[in-house]
């Protein structure tokens, strides 16, 4: 059945487009489950299954648009009033209850597990569980996507080929879906891994404790206002190649061009006593690119597409490990360059072909689906993550490792949460 409202949809490559929703009948929803989930059957009016001797039950609904006047990227499943009865009945029969949504297009099927414990205790007027098209897009691209939002709701979106990986995690047959927590004993040592930076001596404190001082804010403001507002992918690649920049061939060129320009700006203006650009991508390294010597704190540069519903951050354990230090009150600063993105597919794949030729590749269309043609800068944000606002962070895991297990969790700042962290904004 087709819906009536044109809203965001997702194709099998993870791209978004506008169209009406598609809903399946109860019979068709059951057939989808039988196709992809093990040992599905109807038992006393309940959909049940068996995975490696683990019994489970499923309450399944269509994933559709939340409804006017909500944004076009918000979708949901409807939660019936008897969810708690279903939950308790399942437990009494020795089954693990699952609350699933199914998203369907012509050539795409996605499942979304809404952690049922997050909803059974809610009041009856909470009649839906929400998921964004961006969440669906991540799963369509990478196979599986998991997040915990700032409200504490846990969702896992996954393709049919990841059903077994999802169930293995769900039943604790592999590493369980547990929220990461920083180990206080090892968290302090994380400072040792930052390239060339000693751990703070016990009892020392930053020269400028608290909020970022104006002189550092001014550096970022002047840098961004001095940038051209439009970046063309080919021109950016040529500039980085001519300078033999270490990340000159990275496919996500916009973010690396930002790093290239800022690193160069710091050196040319002798500002490294205030901001140092560092990287340590090794195992156990601290994956934050900026260090502020006078603040004794860390930060990162992020290029952020304005159509994205959230800012993907760094490793969850790293962030919370730093914030968990008790020597002084730590801050982590995200410098966000927000931009409009124009896909290379809409411009004859010019950047894609240039990028492949520059590397001597025979396949000139490698990375064609995700390559950006150009970006247009719009805003700069300075975000301050600290112990007072860290509870507004969301957790996400994107994709699976080669062993089939979910990748380590990272932080995410939902778009409507940016104001909780922002200390400075400027229109570019």
370 band by pLDDT with thresholds 50, 70 and 90: confident
Q: Give the pair of three-digit tokens for residue 136.
A: 């669906």
List, in sequence order, every beta strand (DSSP E) within 149-224. 154-158
68 band by pLDDT with thresholds 50, 70 and 90: very high
Domain boundaries, the chain: 7-170, 184-427
**Rounded distance between C-alpha atoms, residue 275 and residue 294, angstroms:** 9
Tell me the angle at which helices 233-242 and 350-358 cross, rounded to the nearest 10 degrees. Answer: 20
pTM for the model: 0.76
Asked if 111 contacts 163 with a C-beta cutoff of 8 angstroms, the reply is yes
Nearest to 98 by CA among 87, 85, 109: 87
416 band by pLDDT with thresholds 50, 70 and 90: confident
Q: Which residue has the higher pLDDT, 190 or 16?
A: 16
Average pLDDT over residues 8-15: 90
Asked if 256 contacts 240 with a C-beta cutoff of 8 angstroms, the reply is yes
- Interval 42-58: pLDDT, tens: 998 899 999 999 999 99
203 band by pLDDT with thresholds 50, 70 and 90: low
Asked if 277 contacts 270 with a C-beta cutoff of 8 angstroms, the reply is no
- Interval 334-345: pLDDT, tens: 999 999 999 999
Q: Is residue 188 over pLDDT 80?
A: no
Q: Which fold has domain 7-170?
A: Trna Endonuclease; Chain: A, domain 1 (3.40.1350)
283 band by pLDDT with thresholds 50, 70 and 90: very low
Asked if 101 contacts 157 with a C-beta cutoff of 8 angstroms, the reply is no
**DSSP-H helix ranges across 37-171:** 83-92, 117-120, 133-142, 163-170
Percentage of residues in the chain having pLDDT higher than 70:
88
Predicted pLDDT of residue 187 = 39
SS3 65: strand
Q: Is residue 159 over pLDDT 50?
A: yes
Average pLDDT over residues 170-195: 49
Q: Is residue 369 over pLDDT 90?
A: no
Predicted pLDDT of residue 21 = 96
């Amino acid at each position: 059945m087709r819906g009536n409202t044109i809203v965001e949809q997702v194709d099998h490559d993870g791209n978004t487009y506008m169209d009406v929703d598609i809903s399946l009948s109860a019979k068709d929803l059951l057939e989808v489950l039988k196709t992809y989930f093990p040992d599905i059957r109807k038992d006393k009016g309940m959909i049940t299954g068996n995975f490696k001797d683990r019994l489970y039950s499923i309450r399944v609904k269509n994933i559709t648009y939340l409804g006017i006047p909500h944004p076009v990227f918000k979708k949901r499943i409807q939660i019936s009033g008897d969810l708690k009865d279903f939950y308790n009945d399942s437990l009494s029969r020795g089954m693990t209850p699952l609350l699933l949504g199914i998203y369907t297009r012509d050539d795409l099927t996605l499942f979304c597990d809404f952690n049922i414990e997050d909803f059974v205790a809610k009041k009856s007027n909470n009649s839906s569980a929400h998921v964004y098209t961006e969440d669906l897009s991540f799963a369509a691209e990478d196979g599986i996507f998991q997040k915990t939002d700032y409200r504490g709701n846990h969702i896992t979106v996954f393709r049919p080929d990841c059903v077994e990986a999802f169930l293995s995690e769900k039943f604790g047959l592999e590493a369980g879906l547990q929220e990461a927590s920083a180990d206080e004993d090892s968290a302090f040592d994380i400072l040792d891994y930052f390239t060339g930076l000693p751990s703070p001596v016990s009892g020392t404190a930053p020269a400028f404790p608290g909020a970022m001082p104006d002189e550092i804010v001014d550096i970022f403001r002047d840098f961004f206002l001095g940038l051209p507002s439009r970046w063309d992918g080919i021109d950016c690649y040529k500039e980085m190649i001519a300078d033999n920049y270490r990340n000159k061939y990275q496919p996500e060129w916009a973010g690396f061009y930002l790093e290239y320009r800022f690193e160069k700006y710091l050196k040319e203006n002798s500002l490294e006593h205030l901001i140092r650009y560092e990287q340590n991508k090794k195992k156990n390294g601290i994956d934050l690119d900026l260090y502020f010597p006078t603040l004794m704190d860390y930060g990162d540069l992020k290029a952020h597409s304005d159509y994205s519903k959230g800012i993907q951050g760094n490793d969850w354990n790293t962030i919370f490990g730093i914030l968990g230090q008790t020597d002084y009150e730590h801050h982590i600063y995200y410098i966000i360059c927000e931009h409009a993105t124009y896909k290379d597919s809409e411009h004859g794949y010019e950047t894609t072909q240039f990028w492949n030729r520059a590397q001597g590749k025979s396949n000139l269309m490698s990375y064609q689906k995700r390559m950006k043609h150009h970006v247009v800068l719009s805003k700069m944000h300075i975000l301050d993550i600290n112990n007072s606002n860290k509870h507004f962070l969301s957790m996400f895991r994107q994709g699976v490792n080669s062993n089939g297990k979910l990748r380590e969790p990272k932080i995410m700042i939902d778009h409507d949460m940016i104001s909780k962290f922002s200390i400075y904004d400027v229109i570019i």
